[in-house]
Amino acid sequence: MKTLKGFTKIQSKNKIFGLEFLDLLILLVIYLVVFVFSTNLLLNLALVSGAYLVLRFYKKGKAPHWAGSVMRFLLRPRKYFSRRERKEELPK
């Protein structure tokens, strides 16, 4: 039986510190908000570390680019057209 060699690096997620790029942007926004409102360095680092751990545990087992798909779904404008796309779907 012949098998095809698979390249797992191509099919895997791009990760930095275990998170995808969009997750790191979310973590960066949390970092900026925390450091703007508070001057306590230890508290700020604890909050950012906690947010990082929550993102890591939340993303465990999710599909690749799951966060991007959710963001596109939530931010896409809702447009529903009244016309049908195919003539086969029109009532007779």
* Tens of pLDDT, residues 7-36: 555 555 567 777 888 888 889 999 999 989
H helix or E strand, kind and range, residue 76: none
pLDDT of the residue at 21: 82
Residue 90 pLDDT: 58
Q: Are 48 and 31 contacting, i.e. CB atoms less than 8 angstroms apart?
A: yes
Distance CA 83, CA 89 (A): 10
What's the predicted TM-score (pTM) here?
0.60
* Six-digit token string for 82: 């009244």
